[in-house]
Amino acid sequence: MTPQFDYICQRRFHFIELIVHWEGRLTTNHLQKHFAISRSSASNIIQDYVRFHPDFLRYNSSLKGYQATEYFNPCLNELDLSAYLKIAKQSEDTVSLQQFTWLNSPLADIAPKKVRGVLQALNSQLRVDVGYASVSSPDFEARIISPHNLVFDGMRWHVRAYCEKNRDFRDFVLTRFNGEYEFEGNAEYDQSHDTLWQTQLDVVIEPDPRLTPERAHIIALDHQMTKQVNGRYQRTINVRAALLLYLLKQLHLDSYQAKPEAQQIILSPECLEALKPYMAW
């Protein structure tokens, strides 16, 4: 199997799994419309998938399409709703996009010139000298950084990098670069040296205890919590310590609301105590 075929195969299999996972029925028409191919080619792709995974799909003659069996176990990642909506935007045969509305981040778009140097440094593991402005230092000042990851926090793009000025790993907002880059040789630090990046934390959330049991149950459903042995609804989310504050902000746990209906969820008391050392950096 050549690398090119492997990529094409994975892309098509991912599409099949998304359709089966979310729509519950797969037809050759799905693949014909999405990939602009003939009916016979679409049928061959489905048969290829069935040969790879003979127990995952069965043909339902009354529905004139393939459905998942009880053994269906998707092999590819990104089967969440957002991944389905991405392929729906490209396909004429999925559920009408008029039925979906999503709010894009108004801060996510970035001028390419502000990113190119960072991408080059990431790809080649280089130190890069760049002008950077912050709220505390609004004038652009030179920073030599060694980037190791791009991070989207739900609103803005950041680059995680070793900063030679602070002699530590920091997050830099991409929109605050001036777009002028000079490369300074090979990076001496990468993500293996970033302790907070390598540290995994468990964030345990539960309904605000001030809520009535009935309302707490609704909040538990919203956040996919399960009832624990102690009777409390909880969910555990794993996150890198370097990204903890972004997750807490997404969950609106970076502030405390006076009304439980506004607060809705809290960190479990045990979790809050365990996370305190990582919430002040």
pLDDT tens digit sequence for 76-131 = 767 777 778 777 766 654 444 556 666 777 777 788 888 888 888 998 899 999 99
pTM of the entire structure? 0.75
Arithmetic mean of pLDDT, 221-226: 95
For every residue of 183-224, which 3-state class applies, written as one string?
EEEECCCCHHHCHHHHCEEEEEEEECCCCCHHHHHHHHHHCC
Instruction: Assess contact for 48 and 5: CB atoms under 8 A.
Output: no
Instruction: Assess contact for 19 and 79: CB atoms under 8 A.
Output: no
Q: Residue 66 above 90 pLDDT?
A: yes
Give the position of tokens 């996919």.
224
Counting residues of the chain whose pLDDT is more than 90, the rounded percentage is 62
pLDDT tens digit sequence for 262-277 = 999 999 999 999 999 9
**DSSP structural state of residue 70:** T
In angstroms, the CA 182 to CA 120 distance is 11
In angstroms, the CA 148 to CA 126 distance is 9
Arithmetic mean of pLDDT, 194-208: 97
In angstroms, the CA 235 to CA 104 distance is 26
Strands of the 157-163 sheet, one edge to the other? 168-173, 157-163, 141-152, 126-132, 177-186
